[in-house]
Structure 1
Amino acid sequence: MSRTPELVVANGTVVNSFGRQNAHIVVQDGTIVRLVPASEPVPEAERTIDAAGRLVIPGGVDGHCHVAQVTGRFRTLDDYKTTSTAALWGGTTTIIDFGIPRDAQETPLAAVLHKKELAQESRCDVALHGSVVSWDETVPWQLEQLAAEGVRSVKMYTTNRGTTMADGDTILKVMREMVRLDGLTYIHAEHDPIIADCTAQHADDGRIGIEHLHRTRPELAEEISVKETLAMAEYTGAPVYFVHQSTPGAVDLVAEARSAGQEAYSETCPHYLTLDDTVYGSAFPEWYACCPPMRSAETVAALKERLAAGAIHTVSSDHSCYDLSQKRERTDDIRAMPHGLPGVETRMPVTFTAMMESARNTVEDFVEVFSAGPARINAVPGKGAIAEGFDADLVIFDPAEDRTVDGGSLHMGTDFSPFDGVRLTGWPAVVVAAGRVVVDAGAFHDPGPVGRFVARNGLREHTTAPAATPATV
């Protein structure tokens, strides 16, 4: 005799990237086992949550987070317990972090294994990207070991010389290896010689404080780097994913490459869709220290148009949890201060608010960039859809509910938010992760360190696996 299901989310409007239906969602052992039309009686369960009048979407997949990240002399102030808790508060049920070597002595493999060990404290599911800074004869073997661990992507930086930057030879060789291993190359694309020269000129003129950040990293530097990287990807046949694109020109270059047959993807972040470079003239410009910087209002508007047109494939947080004491150590010199913004908790409402400002966007479009697209592009099994056999990662929300961000009451382990005081819609009311109700009634129910490490598939392997479609639900 079959067991009584542990959970039913009843009477909700289930919204996937491919469509919606009114249904009861039946959950057993952390998995969605049935979707029952809402016209039928609510199935019996140990616990029933009535979602009538509200939307139910797949739990978010944040493909770009930095947890306990060490860069130079700075370390972000979070750990996996803190960041995963904040993620769940914000409707994200899976995060993908980076194993970036902390110094020249740490290998790419060691960096990932270190992060995998730390991730045992996570409250939500975790996947990982690798990272290569410099090439040596051991790198192919290390990448094979990473693939065997389920780490099927490698990030490289085209800037940050002396710390995380990889040279062109390294990028090209790693791309070849990722093709061999059926993986994905991640790129932070900013042209280092242009940035270094522009920053030096501003320093010579005494214009090197945080209020000048946006002038030291021009849009041209991002777009030239994207163009060069796409050429290497075309040459090697490597699928390539560009993180935190901040200009419509960069997105257009990726779109043109895709039209020519390349497998290339554009990611942007909530702050590039909502904040412009006037923030560097505000009372607290250090709140907005990140790379690339905020762009002009005209660029922000054009970037949002690209998102509405479907040219941007994912919206990720690029979560980096420094606090104001770290930010304020050297606001006089952007070369000496840490860059990066806390955002894993606010990704959902900021993105939803930005997207719903356009009549062209639907909730289905939001689900695509918030959950389905990141899961599919990163080959994360069981994520990104509300469908039979998928993980029971669910978010219930009322799209009309709005709240004002209070940076001090968030849960990211820092003391500010770049969206402090901003009114946003699309906050989660109930969050279910792996079948456990972790957020409801304004409270967090800590499940303990139950987050699983998710081994990712190869890209080709994932595209041939069974996927959620309207026919399956």
Structure 2
Amino acid sequence: MMSHLPDLVIAHGTVVNSFGRRRAHVVVRDGRIEQLIDATEPVPAATRIIDAAGRMVIPGGVDGHCHVAQVTGRFRTLDDYRTTSTAALWGGTTTIIDFGIPRDAHESPLAAVLNKKELARESRCDVALHGSVVSWDETVPWQLEQLAAEGVRSVKMYTTNRGTTMADGDTILKVMREMVRLDGLTYIHAEHDPIIADCTQQHADDGRIGIEHLHRTRPELAEEISVKETLAMANYTNAPVYFVHQSTPGAVDLVTEARRQGREAFSETCPHYLTLDDSVYGTAFPEWYACCPPMRSAETVAELKDRLASGAIHAVASDHSCYDLSQKRERSDDVRAMPHGLPGVETRMPVTFTAMMEAGAASAGTLEDFVEVFAAGPARINAVPRKGTIAAGFDADLVIFDPAEQRTVDGGALHMGTDFSPFNGRSLSGWPAVVVSAGRVVVDTDGFHDPGPVGRYVHRNGFRAHQDAAAGSTSATALNAVPANP
């Protein structure tokens, strides 16, 4: 006889959403949150009950910027969806958004996405996808229509990396127009290519092109000029625009000013830009920190952290790229030839939490602020239905943790399929103790419980349709009303 009991109850925890907190029992049935019951009421019977007394219960993380099994030139990241999704769950992230970036001129944007969608069948957590356009041709509008039909509502373009992933200004402008037509969101990697190319060549001419000089080859000005130019194109086309991995307060301030003028613009940063400064390139292992943009000065890091605390940054994403040290060291003598990108999907939660909460920050954030950039904001901005909020009808993606617990990062003990972490040896708070994904307990005190390849491919909603449904809401009601794919 089938049981009528809920599958799971998380009892007595402090439930923290981006809009507030309450002590409650969270009742889970069939992969969804059935209801929240005030913690003063008796705990309802269930197949499994987890006592979260004295701990926080937050929505499972949504990492809007991951690169899984990514091919860039002759380098390929060492992970696959099984590895990266497992690491994500270990780190409290229950939904990742990957990119279908054409490997070369022979792979179309649509083919790149469909390839990633097929690979994602091995995922242990839910997966959504971004598209990417490198060059414009007459087939691109049709391809973008097909991507929208696949639930891919965002397209990334690079303003640098000429000869590989860079899109020229004409392409960016035309794609922006198409994304407006298709109710989508334009993602931008913003670094001004002529400045980057010239600065890098000058350093190469002087023999200062090894990894220890990376931060000098890609100046802050290059990022900020590119953001300014892109915002002008977004203003011209009326396109919503999202800037990935912003590393300077100046870049964030440009987005803030655009928003003040009524533009739909968003700033994302990454944990490494909030915690690491350019002194890392003078250490014994500078290759641990090869990423673009590079780490900035300690003063810039402090100001960026202030922008996060003020709410000017809308999402913190990992920009996860899983190379190992042998790949990093193969061409560490020349930053133009080595692979850039850091493993980080597993450490996003504790690094971000620590950066926001640590004493000494100009204005430390709240738990609600953390939930906003870790889960709620990424879900809302990327129009991911039923994610980022603990409320009836939402997916049962949940994390239990004790904010006071500290652990030290051991790069070799992580689960990302590589042999290092840029945060190795750092003492961090905010590690997940229990992780629930689609109603399944996948991490607890007994370790990881592999659910198998059960991760769902998530069809995202139209950007403006989703934002309009959420507009003015300080509760879960509007977001939960957005039509979701079956």
- For the criterion TM > 0.5, the same-fold answer is yes
Kindly state the Cα deviation for residue 465 of structure 1 after the two structures are TM-superposed. Answer: 3.8
- Provide the rounded CA distance (Å) in 2 between the counterparts of 1:120 and 1:348: 25
Matches of 1:471 and 1:26, distance apart in 2: 16
For residues 471 and 90 of structure 1, the distance between their equivalents in structure 2, rounded to whole angstroms, comes to 24
Tell me, in whole angstroms, the C-alpha distance in 2 between the residues paired with 1:181 and 1:395. Answer: 34
For 1:455, the equivalent position in structure 2 comes to: 459
Query: What is the Cα deviation at residue 459 of structure 1?
Result: 1.1
Q: Percent identity?
A: 85
Separation in 1, partners of 2:165, 2:291: 15
Measured in 1, the distance between the counterparts of 2:434 and 2:244 equals: 29
Contact preservation (8 Å) 1:429, 1:442: no
Counterpart of 2:445? 441
Question: After superposition, where does 1:60-459 map in structure 2 within 5 Å?
Answer: 60-357=61-358, 358=361, 359-459=363-463
**In structure 2, how many angstroms separate the alpha carbons of the residues matched to 1:93 and 1:218?**
35
Residue 471 of structure 1: how far off its partner (Å): 7.5
Q: Is the 8 A contact 1:11 1:51 kept in 2?
A: yes
Query: For residue 45 of structure 1, what is the amino acid of its counterpart?
Result: A
**C-alpha contact 1:308 1:361 (8 A) present in aligned 2:** yes
Scaled by the length of structure 2, what TM-score is found? 0.96
- Over 3 Å counting, the alpha-carbon distance change for 1:334 and 1:471 in structure 2 is closer
- Note the C-alpha offset of 1:3: 1.5
Instruction: Tell me the residue number matched to 2:50.
Output: 49
| 2:437 aligned partner, one-letter code | A
Q: Secondary structure at the match of 1:328?
A: helix
Displacement of 1:470 in angstroms is: 3.9
Residues in 2 aligned to 1:29 and 1:346: alpha-carbon distance in whole angstroms: 29
> What is the CA distance between 1:116 and its match in structure 2?
0.1
Q: Secondary structure at the match of 1:64?
A: strand
Deviation at 1:463, TM superposition (A): 2.5
Cα RMSD between the aligned structures? 1.2
Alignment-mate amino acid for residue 67 of structure 1: V
Structure 2 residue matching 1:235: 3-state secondary structure: helix
Match of 2:484?
none
Equivalent in the alignment of 1:20: 21
Supply the distance in 1 between the matched residues of 2:254 and 2:306 (Cα, whole angstroms). Answer: 15
Q: CA deviation at 1:469?
A: 4.5
Q: How much does 1:460 deviate?
A: 1.8
Structure 2 runs not aligned, ≥5 long: 481-486
In structure 2, what is the Cα distance between the partners aligned to 1:311 and 1:461? Answer: 23
CA distance in 2, matches of 1:313, 1:463: 14
CA offset at residue 466 of structure 1? 6.7
Letter matched to residue 299 of structure 2: E
- In the superposition, relative to structure 1, how do residues 470 and 182 fare at CA in structure 2: closer, same or farther (>3 Å)? closer
Q: CA deviation at 1:461?
A: 1.6
Measure how far apart 1:442 and its partner are: 4.9
AA matched with 1:120: R
Aligned equivalent of 2:483: none
Inter-partner Cα distance in structure 2 for 1:469 and 1:293: 36
DSSP-derived class of the 2:330 partner: coil
Query: Counterparts of 2:60 and 2:261 in 1: how far apart (Å)?
Result: 33
Is the Cα contact below 8 Å between 2:270 and 2:319 reproduced in 1? Answer: yes
How far off is 1:360 after superposition?
A: 3.6
SS in 2 for 1:63: strand
Secondary structure of the 2:407 match is strand
CA displacement, residues 69-106 of structure 1 (integer Å, 9 cap, x when unaligned) = 00000000000000000000000000000000001000
